[in-house]
Amino acid sequence: MKPFSQFFVFVVTVSATSYIDAFTRNDFPNDFLFGAATSAYQWEGAFDEDGKSPSVWDTTSHCDSGSNNGDIACDGYHKYKEDVMLMAEMGLESFRFSISWSRLIPNGRGRINPKGLLFYKNLIKELRSHGIEPQVTLYHYDLPQSWKMSMEDGSTAKSYVCFREFGEDVKLWTTINEATLFAIGSYGDGMRYGHCPPMNYSTANVCTETYIAGHNMLLAHSSASNLYKLKYKTKQRGSVGLSIYAYGLSPYTDSKDDETATERAEAFLFGWMLKPLVVGDYPDIMKRTLGSRLPVFSEEESKQVKGSSDFVGVVHYKTFYVTNRPAPSLVTSINKLFFADIGAYLIAAGNASLFEFDAVPWGLEGIIQHIKQSYNNPPIYILENGKPMKHGSTLQDTPRAEFIQAYIGAVHNAITNGSDTRGYFVWSMIDLYELIGGYMTSYGMYYVNFSDPGRKRSPKLSASWYTGFLNGTIDVASQDTIQLQRKCSGSSSL
């Protein structure tokens, strides 16, 4: 019995480079979408302009003094035409963004803000005019602060407005971003807006509320999706899916205990959201383990949830080994509580700190393979994947370009092996305000000078690489990447 981590340096080096084989854009299906992503709070700025009400993120970020917030962010609200032009020059095929609930419907439900509506119509029109497919996320963590209704009722009301107003030009909708992570993080990991102070669980039953939140998100997703199917799909011919945060998972050793622990982790981290979408109920292992702490679908709810997702949206950054032992006693967050339910502990595959992690592309390929085999090979979009680096360190972000290159190789392998994967979106198009980390780190292919009132954008090496890949001017297996690196080396400083 051998612990895999002993061989990590060798495994990661070999696996990352092995994914950089000879492939080009033309080796992917013609209708496959290569894109990049942002979200409203992290990109738009203009936090109190043109009728927008405060969101929970506005309130939370303003609890701390200073400018570590998204008040201005990248100023995408005012600079969206410039950003769309950068996308067009890059050859981007799709752009994923979210619609700010508090900008479009300031009170959460009811009156529509005409200036907010106009902004999103103009953004979508600008994208379409450059041949860029909009991929819209309906909910990306930014509830209106004045929220006073159920998640299911409110999200359905917002979805109705979005489908009606934008549906002729939007064919790909994601209802909720990272539903799994949102439930885990919001109900135990210190991001409990207006519920209890960070890292203080005295006013909340996190062992139960995490699963209630996940349950309510499934109902909210399915309500919006079924609304679309009943009222808009025949005419608009779009698709509606749910996004999950997906860890790559692999047994820590070749023991039966670790293999079984990995299966439990897959059930909790994937099956929790995906199995109800396929069969209308939770995995058996979750029901046995959690008992009354896991909500129960009524017969009507089960029918509503089953078959309600046209695709699975995958958000992936990190890969872990799974071992059959409890989480360390020093862990004080939901990670201890949630993984105590799983009965497993996750060990990072290489460096996997909050602000930096290694390329482990086989983790993404494993995720796609697992979803293919376990959930009837549904359409999959990789909605987020990227590498953080210290913000402002250099324009020559070679590790990020290599990271993207390797993970695109993993997607190519998965498609070759029969997966119905239909898109890959780099996080992120430009440097953003990161919800965890603020302006300390960034994922962007374009540098944003946040000290400049004009928020000047500058391309990094990763932007040049992605442009070359999309336009067919870079051969992944040749020396073109090295030559590109040398070409950009003269402008590596900021």
Closest CA relative to residue 95, chosen from 182, 179, 171: 171
DSSP one-letter code for 322? E
Range 229-245 average pLDDT: 97
Range 107-117 average pLDDT: 93
Quote the percentage of the chain above a pLDDT of 70. 83
Rounded CA-CA distance 237/234 in Å is 6
| Catalytic residue list contains 178 | yes
> 124-147: per-residue pLDDT in tens?
999 999 999 999 999 998 889 887
Classify 455 as helix, strand or coil: coil
Give the other-Cβ count within 10 Å of 45's Cβ: 21
For residue 272, is pLDDT > 90?
yes
Contacts of 482 (CB under 8 A, 6+ apart): none
> 302-326: per-residue pLDDT in tens?
999 999 999 999 999 999 999 998 6
pLDDT score, position 293: 93
The parent domain of residue 269 ranges over 4-491
Active-site pick, 178, 209, 266, 434: 178
> 431-481: per-residue pLDDT in tens?
999 988 899 999 999 999 999 999 999 999 999 999 999 998 876 554 455
Contacts of 352 (CB under 8 A, 6+ apart): 318, 319, 320, 358
pLDDT score, position 485: 57
DSSP state letters, 89-133: HHT--EEEEE--HHHHSTTSSS---HHHHHHHHHHHHHHHHTT-E
**Domain CATH for 140:** 3.20.20.80
Bridge-based pairing of strands 94-98 and 133-139 is parallel
Active-site pick, 93, 384, 402, 434: 384
Domain count along the chain: 1
Average pLDDT of the chain?
87
pLDDT score, position 202: 46
Q: What is the dihedral of CA 456, 401, 381, 217, to 10 degrees?
A: -60
